[in-house]
Amino acid sequence: MAAEVLDGKAIAADLRSRVEEVVAARVRAGRRPPGLATVLVGDDPASHVYVGSKRKACAEAGIRSIHHELPGDVAEEELIDLVAALDRDPGVDGILVQMPLPARIDQDRVLAEISAGKDVDGLTPANAGHLAQGRIGVREALELESDRPAVGLVACTPAGVMEILHRSGVELAGAEAVVVGRSILVGRPMASLLLNASATVTVCHSRTRDLAAACRRADLLIAAVGRPGMVGAESIKPGATVIDVGMNRTDEGLVGDVDFDAASAVAGRITPVPGGVGPMTIAMLLANTVRAAR
Ligand code: NDP
């Protein structure tokens, strides 16, 4: 039987309308709308598309977007000064520096200028630390309305995956979860969120021996590698939930890390690319901006 397709686009649309309502209520209460600053360096076409989509989503949700574009040969100090100024600006609640930065720029130095409270990408050591020490679970990561200040901000893509799993009723406590990929943007925070939700988590990477065997143990398999179609039917336990984070631009268009047709014949549930995790990343960025403003 073909796997159930988990519709990230629909879940994202729902979350975005919730964000819009929270923003509208905030403005009705006489407070300024949340503000998200985006910083784009260079002319990478994919980065321009991503930032464009994020700014459009902000406008639709009533979030103020403050955008800065710098040339690819910008001096590192100039970029650092800009990020530091945005961090001091009381009208800016969240700062997103679009990655990747040019290789000659020290990403850690740039990120060090962002306070944890404005770090809507969840990349600073303080936010990553809250997550790694188990202080942020699904509930905290997704909480939009509360009188309490937000406890840490979680990287948008893994938080978006958690929302898909939560809305789709996927049982996590005690489940065997395998995350393929260990980047600070996706794999590591994903593994921490699943661990905080009491899954038994295995993290695989380029040095993993017999990747397919490790993946076949998974009740929940998350692929975040960046290699088109590398996860096939041989890597999937029958009935497993398969989440494809990969976004690979090929001659055939945008494809994931999972061979969708082959995997669908074995998996119980699966996310498509496009229309799966991608839209959730943008929705979670809006949610994080609202949480940062709180
Ligand atoms: P990175 O390149 O930073 O990390 C890739 C990871 O995959 C690394 O940990 C690497 O291992 C591992 N890897 C590489 N080759 C293999 C292999 N043959 N077997 C097992 N593991 C391997 O990528 P990101 O984490 O930033 O992104 C991953 C994918 O997710 C990309 O396709 C990206 O475009 C997509 N993405 C999608 C988003 C969305 O909104 N849907 C948002 C962000 C990313 P090692 O550490 O050993 O090198």
Ligand 1 neighbourhood includes 291 CB (under 6 angstroms): no
User: 228-263 as b/e, with b when 16 or more CB fall inside 10 Å?
Assistant: bbbbebebbbeebbbbbbbbbeeeeeebbbbbbebb
pLDDT digits (tens, 9 = 90+) for 4-41: 999 999 999 999 999 999 999 999 999 999 999 999 99
CA distance 213 to 210: 6
Annotated catalytic residue 121? yes
Ligand 1 neighbourhood includes 249 CB (under 6 angstroms): no
Q: What is the pLDDT of residue 141?
A: 66
Q: What is the pLDDT of residue 138?
A: 64
CA distance 291 to 284: 10
CA of residue 175 to ligand 1 center, whole Å: 23
Q: What is the pLDDT of residue 193?
A: 96
Ligand 1 neighbourhood includes 281 CB (under 6 angstroms): yes
Domains annotated for the chain, with CATH where assigned, are: 31-117 (3.40.50.10860), 158-278 (3.40.50.720)
Ligand 1 neighbourhood includes 277 CB (under 6 angstroms): yes
The catalytic position among 119, 121, 219, 244 is 121
Annotated catalytic residue 54? yes
Annotated catalytic residue 56? no
User: In the structure, how many helices (H) and strands (E) does the chain have?
Assistant: 11, 11
CA distance 5 to 74: 43
CA of residue 11 to ligand 1 center, whole Å: 24
Q: What is the pLDDT of residue 136?
A: 77
Per-residue pLDDT of the chain (294 residues; tens, 9 = 90+): 799 999 999 999 999 999 999 999 999 999 999 999 999 999 999 999 999 999 999 999 999 999 999 999 999 999 999 999 999 999 999 999 999 999 999 999 999 999 999 999 999 999 999 999 988 766 666 677 766 666 789 999 999 999 999 999 999 999 999 999 999 999 999 999 999 999 999 999 999 999 999 999 999 999 999 999 999 999 999 999 999 999 999 999 999 999 999 999 999 999 999 999 999 999 999 999 999 998
The residue whose CA is least distant from atom 5 of ligand 1 is 225
**If 0-12 CB within 10 Å is exposed, 13-18 middle and 19+ buried, where does residue 200 land?**
middle
Given the DSSP bridges, would you call strands 94-97 and 200-204 parallel, antiparallel or unpaired?
Answer: unpaired
pLDDT digits (tens, 9 = 90+) for 49-90: 999 999 999 999 999 999 999 999 999 999 999 999 999 999
